[in-house]
Structure 1
Amino acid sequence: MGSGKTTVGRALARKLNKRFIDSDHEIEARTGASIPVIFEVEGEASFRQREAEVIKDLTALDDIVLATGGGAILNPASRALLAERGTVIYLRASVSSILHRTSHDKNRPLLQGPDPRRRLEDLSRQREPMYAEIADIVIDTGRPNVQFLVNNILMHLGLAPDRCIEPSMNSQSMPISTVTPAPVPREPGAARPVPVRLQVDLGTRSYPITIGPGLLDDAGLLRQHVHGERVAVVTNTVVAPLYLERLTRSLAAAGKQVTTVVLPDGEEEKTWPNLMAIFDGLLTDKCDRKTTLIALGGGVVGDMTGFAAASYMRGVPLIQIPTTLLSQVDSSVGGKTGINHPLGKNMIGAFYQPQTVIADTATLDSLPARELSAGLAEVIKHGAIIDTVFLDWVEANMGALLARDAVALTHVIRRSCEIKADIVRQDERESGIRAILNFGHTFAHAIEAGLGYGTWLHGEAVGCGMVMAADLSCRLGLIDTVARDRLARIVSAAGLPVIAPDLGLATWLELMQVDKKNEGGAIKFILLQPLGSAIIRTVPDTVLAHTLHACVQRAC
């Protein structure tokens, strides 16, 4: 509700020369009563039944643009009909935006209680996964004008607008989450979309992200993105027995000649000798500069293969096929590649964008529970620094995520990729806003180096690091104790550690001084101000010492 469906739908219909219908208006015309009166006299259940009947009738029509009520998707039959019979466009708006737009509207029966914000937050948590499940296109409304939104929709429908009108706003006005997926094909009779597709917009270096089950077996998808005849697949000793044969078979079906390089597994193996092992395999098989490197595995494999692709013959094509939750929601997107040094994590590497990212969600079925929890750290991070509605949803659905519910996991992968892709679009080489994606990482990298790489998983260190960063934010008066404690509870609920290892103050400071964000010897931290927004700043040594002391004693 309040996202502009009627206004945008009517304008879109004019552009497409189609008839516009609003389902709420149709209900009122059939009953002779307004929506608030129907709610008051008959109750919501009766209204939903009327709504479902209208949706069934209207989706059978041709050449229309249909604006549904915000709750139409609550009915499973209506969801199936919308998904099967039309192209579904989800106009997404923040709770604050909706509240602003509907604050004086007395025709919103669901918002007439004493706390409309809380009601909107509850509705968002309930409905967001359903919207995401059936949406072919997601458009974040923010503050752009109607014409801009319509042109945006037309482009994602594959139609050329008269001209693309840029929104009149400064860079701070648009919400960060503006990446939209292209229309998604449906299988005949399917009630929901097959693989979700997003786009990382970087001009000539732009590339798609495809998310869905069974993509390892899609020879056509691989053929689309591997342009040369030669492919080198880099994986590790854990992933190779599970998925290497399937991928190799699909590549062969696509007409490709395949070289394989299998590395040892683990963060401690992200080293120079193993990078050389990739080059050894490429040179031994006489791979040329048209050879495409494919990273099949988690973040370590992705980072190392990306660095190898950036370096081999001064750059060869790269495809990321992440097989862990952490790599699907974070590390495979954005072009950061590299290896570790004994004195610092990821200190040697390059920015190098892939040709595409292919996230086969079925690979998460074989992921150990500890690895699944590690991936949730980056999911929580995205909500904590950018999207509190998303964080609310993750908190409310943690049980489903830990139980590997396919719809829940697809939703968090999709939303995380949308958030990261848009930040990368704004700041590809981390000269500004992209640094906020390192929330919790200054502490995390110190934990990994101090304990020895591989003792804690990267996501475990990030989870604890976020709790420490939230404590530091609280001590500086940037967030209150309620927000600090809430984030710690969410991290703990994900099965991640919230008590930091006791490395000793001197070791902590020494390790944190080796950080790519630092300038002039000053340690820079990503902090919350408030929850859902992040800033970069240095902090007094005394405050940092208090956080370090507190977080090794208890959950901050």
Structure 2
Amino acid sequence: MTISNTSPEKRTSGNIVLVGMMGAGKTTVGRMLAKQLGKTFIDSDEEIQKRTGVKISHIFDVEGEEGFRQRESCVIQDLVKLDNIVLATGGGAVLKPDNRAALQANGIVIYLKSGVHDLWQRTRHDHNRPLLQTANPRARLQELFEQRDPIYSAVADHVIHTGKQSVQILIARLIKKISAQDQPRQAIHTMQTLNVGLAERSYQIHIGQNLIRRIDLLLKHIPHKRVAIVSNTTVAPLYLEGLSNTLAANGIQVQSIVLPDGEQYKNSESLNTIYDALLSNRCERNTPLIALGGGVIGDLTGYAAATYLRGVPFIQIPTTLLAQVDSSVGGKTGINHPLGKNMIGAFYQPQVVIADVATLNTLSDKELRAGIAEVIKYGLIRDLPFLEWLEQNIEKLLQRDPEALQYAIVRSCQNKAEVVGADERESGERALLNLGHTFGHAIENAMGYGVWLHGEAVAAGTIMAADLSRRLGWLTQQDVERTKKLFTRSGLPVQGPRLGTEKYMQLMGLDKKVVDGKIRFILLKALGQAVITDEVAIELLGQTLESCSV
């Protein structure tokens, strides 16, 4: 099923449209949301029943699904002309392109996303679901979810994971999302703040220009007037003195720790350098660590914070695009081992992330391109409209257009925050964020850490994943070429080094996603829809490695 590449302009209607699978809670949430916002609630299925005088199941019995879909389209086209309504749509309402266009043009579209297990628990005893009246309704539900999930994601302005939270908390999150509706053309001087929802470990991501000067964003997280800043030999000359002086002017004692720059220094020796400084200066459990730098500094500092005195607070101030859109968010910390990348570490969340877009002006072109690889990833795995935006705006990112950069960072962090909020410790959906990383980590390890930048290796690895997805019958050759074209326009490699299948298999066997001795691959069922699988024939893998290596 194809999804339109164009998003219609929205009219100012005050409408909120809820889409999602049967059992996602659209009607329950919609009624409460409408009551709280003073809007009128309408359920499209209920409206169809009012107009026909019969139940949905009867329409299916008499007219079939196609007959029902035609009636549904007529109702939706009428309802979207109204103003200030909360509209709960049927699960299949998004299947017709005309419906998608009408919903997008006439309201803020919210996808209430639930896992198949939760959906099954809510619907298994409901016999008024015509599409589930089959011999194996659980399998049918899984099939419908796989078909519709990428369509819901593509049509939605926001995705809300329902999870196990109460309806009241869900409504509060929803209202916050709606009130903070992101606009690509928002004034670039406005700081934007996102929330990573992890109960007592929740924290904010601040994104904007010159935030490194916003001492107010830091002071609330340094209550005991003492802090240790970890940076590297590249970033420290640019920002460490200014940050230290600002903190000192506010009565805060600063301990600076400057490490060598490069992936090859993300190791136990650098970690011990941090420990030595903290111990020598008698830093206490209430002394926060600030990571001032890129992904290596963030990972090292976070792991040091997780383990020093069994845990001290830490703050992320990422200064590379890759760190701002990926590694600073989500709490993955760690170091490399000679046998594998990021094999030693911990999940440990920061207190706050402060992403200063202005710091990207001092980033090398090579590092900027490496960060763009991680940005593209979000579009490929779960955000097709963002992928389309990137295809239209990639040159602006390469030219460091501040407005485009801030939009890309915000959109990337929104995606990352939603995934982390639903799966903090990578037991399921979060693994999808590793698209291209299984191949990419093997490349980094084989070539020597630092020879290929992480983003460069991920780019080549993503093309390998796309090629393998095509060989499994999921992507078309056109999809692969489209993906390759975007990476090429970004100045990123689209082929890996020729290591040989046996070497790649050996290195990928050390990957953290290996389960029961099987390598789990993150592949693409479609552009905008990633999947985890360990069912890959060695012959197909060999063909991909041969085709995508040089």
The TM-score normalised by the length of structure 2 is: 0.72
**Cα deviation, residue 255, structure 1:** 2.5
Residue 227 of structure 1: which of 223, 226, 233 is its match?
223
Rounded Cα–Cα distance in structure 2 between residues aligned with 1:541 and 1:102? 39
Change in CA separation of 1:215 and 1:474 when aligned onto 2, cut-off 3 Å: same
**Cα deviation, residue 103, structure 1:** 2.6
**Cα deviation, residue 524, structure 1:** 1.3
Rounded Cα–Cα distance in structure 1 between residues aligned with 2:34 and 2:497? 59
Partner residue of 2:548? Answer: 551
Contact residue 320 and residue 358 of structure 1 kept, 8 A: yes
Rounded Cα–Cα distance in structure 1 between residues aligned with 2:328 and 2:496? 27
Rounded Cα–Cα distance in structure 2 between residues aligned with 1:469 and 1:191? 37
Partner residue of 2:538? Answer: 541
Change in CA separation of 1:431 and 1:15 when aligned onto 2, cut-off 3 Å: closer
Rounded Cα–Cα distance in structure 2 between residues aligned with 1:497 and 1:142? 35
Change in CA separation of 1:261 and 1:479 when aligned onto 2, cut-off 3 Å: same
**Cα deviation, residue 325, structure 1:** 0.1
Q: Which amino acid aligns with 2:549?
A: V
1:237 aligned onto 2:207: no
Rounded Cα–Cα distance in structure 2 between residues aligned with 1:11 and 1:377? 40
Rounded Cα–Cα distance in structure 2 between residues aligned with 1:315 and 1:226? 15
Say which SS state the counterpart of residue 265 (structure 1) adopts. coil
1:379 aligned onto 2:348: no
Rounded Cα–Cα distance in structure 1 between residues aligned with 2:456 and 2:406? 21
Contact residue 307 and residue 337 of structure 1 kept, 8 A: yes
Contact residue 226 and residue 253 of structure 2 kept, 8 A: yes
Identity %: 51
Q: Which amino acid aligns with 1:503?
A: L
Residue 103 of structure 1: which of 98, 105, 121 is its match?
98
**Cα deviation, residue 520, structure 1:** 2.2
Q: Which amino acid aligns with 2:548?
A: C
Residue 496 of structure 1: which of 472, 492, 517 is its match?
492
Equivalent positions of 1:50-89 (< 5 A) are none
Partner residue of 2:14? Answer: 5
Residue 426 of structure 2: which of 426, 430, 434 is its match?
430
Partner residue of 1:419? Answer: 415
**Cα deviation, residue 284, structure 1:** 1.1
Partner residue of 1:83? Answer: none
Rounded Cα–Cα distance in structure 2 between residues aligned with 1:547 and 1:210? 40
Partner residue of 1:463? Answer: 459
**Cα deviation, residue 11, structure 1:** 10
Rounded Cα–Cα distance in structure 1 between residues aligned with 2:211 and 2:351? 16
1:142 aligned onto 2:111: yes
- Structure 1: 5+ residue stretches without partners: 19-67, 70-88, 106-110, 125-130, 132-138, 145-168, 185-189
Residue 387 of structure 2: which of 382, 388, 391 is its match?
391
Change in CA separation of 1:502 and 1:302 when aligned onto 2, cut-off 3 Å: same
**Cα deviation, residue 451, structure 1:** 0.3
Residue 512 of structure 1: which of 508, 515, 532 is its match?
508
Q: Which amino acid aligns with 2:160?
A: T
Rounded Cα–Cα distance in structure 2 between residues aligned with 1:535 and 1:13? 35
Rounded Cα–Cα distance in structure 2 between residues aligned with 1:429 and 1:365? 33
Change in CA separation of 1:99 and 1:177 when aligned onto 2, cut-off 3 Å: closer
1:213 aligned onto 2:209: yes
Rounded Cα–Cα distance in structure 2 between residues aligned with 1:460 and 1:508? 17
**Cα deviation, residue 7, structure 1:** 5.7
1:178 aligned onto 2:165: no
Rounded Cα–Cα distance in structure 1 between residues aligned with 2:112 and 2:516? 39
Contact residue 111 and residue 159 of structure 2 kept, 8 A: no
**Cα deviation, residue 288, structure 1:** 0.6
Change in CA separation of 1:518 and 1:103 when aligned onto 2, cut-off 3 Å: same
Q: Which moved more, 1:461-470 or 1:498-507?
A: 498-507
Change in CA separation of 1:485 and 1:204 when aligned onto 2, cut-off 3 Å: same
Contact residue 2 and residue 98 of structure 1 kept, 8 A: no
The Cα RMSD (Å) is: 3.7
Partner residue of 1:363? Answer: 359
Change in CA separation of 1:10 and 1:505 when aligned onto 2, cut-off 3 Å: closer
Q: Which amino acid aligns with 1:349?
A: G
Partner residue of 2:476? Answer: 480
Residue 530 of structure 1: which of 518, 523, 526 is its match?
526
Question: Any idea what the Cα deviations from partners look like across 1:223-243, whole Å, max 9, x if unmatched?
Answer: 122222210000000000001
Rounded Cα–Cα distance in structure 1 between residues aligned with 2:199 and 2:14? 30
Say which SS state the counterpart of residue 257 (structure 2) adopts. strand
Question: Any idea what the Cα deviations from partners look like across 1:49-70, whole Å, max 9, x if unmatched?
Answer: xxxxxxxxxxxxxxxxxxx99x
Change in CA separation of 1:104 and 1:414 when aligned onto 2, cut-off 3 Å: closer
Rounded Cα–Cα distance in structure 2 between residues aligned with 1:223 and 1:480? 52
**Cα deviation, residue 192, structure 1:** 6.5
Say which SS state the counterpart of residue 233 (structure 1) adopts. strand
Residue 408 of structure 1: which of 404, 407, 431 is its match?
404
Change in CA separation of 1:504 and 1:357 when aligned onto 2, cut-off 3 Å: same
Rounded Cα–Cα distance in structure 1 between residues aligned with 2:237 and 2:525? 45
Rounded Cα–Cα distance in structure 2 between residues aligned with 1:230 and 1:504? 51
1:343 aligned onto 2:339: yes
Partner residue of 2:281? Answer: 285
**Cα deviation, residue 507, structure 1:** 1.3
Change in CA separation of 1:310 and 1:12 when aligned onto 2, cut-off 3 Å: closer
1:306 aligned onto 2:315: no
Rounded Cα–Cα distance in structure 2 between residues aligned with 1:511 and 1:273? 23
Q: Which moved more, 1:483-492 or 1:319-328?
A: 483-492
Rounded Cα–Cα distance in structure 2 between residues aligned with 1:441 and 1:389? 23
Contact residue 211 and residue 410 of structure 1 kept, 8 A: yes
Contact residue 210 and residue 359 of structure 1 kept, 8 A: yes
Equivalent positions of 1:27-42 (< 5 A) are none
Change in CA separation of 1:443 and 1:10 when aligned onto 2, cut-off 3 Å: closer
**Cα deviation, residue 6, structure 1:** 3.4
Change in CA separation of 1:540 and 1:192 when aligned onto 2, cut-off 3 Å: closer
Q: Which amino acid aligns with 1:436?
A: L
Rounded Cα–Cα distance in structure 2 between residues aligned with 1:514 and 1:101? 44
Rounded Cα–Cα distance in structure 2 between residues aligned with 1:469 and 1:3? 41
Say which SS state the counterpart of residue 503 (structure 1) adopts. coil
Contact residue 112 and residue 159 of structure 2 kept, 8 A: no
- Structure 2: 5+ residue stretches without partners: 1-9, 18-29, 40-79, 114-140, 162-172, 181-185
Question: Any idea what the Cα deviations from partners look like across 1:258-294, whole Å, max 9, x if unmatched?
Answer: 1000000000000101000000111111111100000
Aligned length: 433
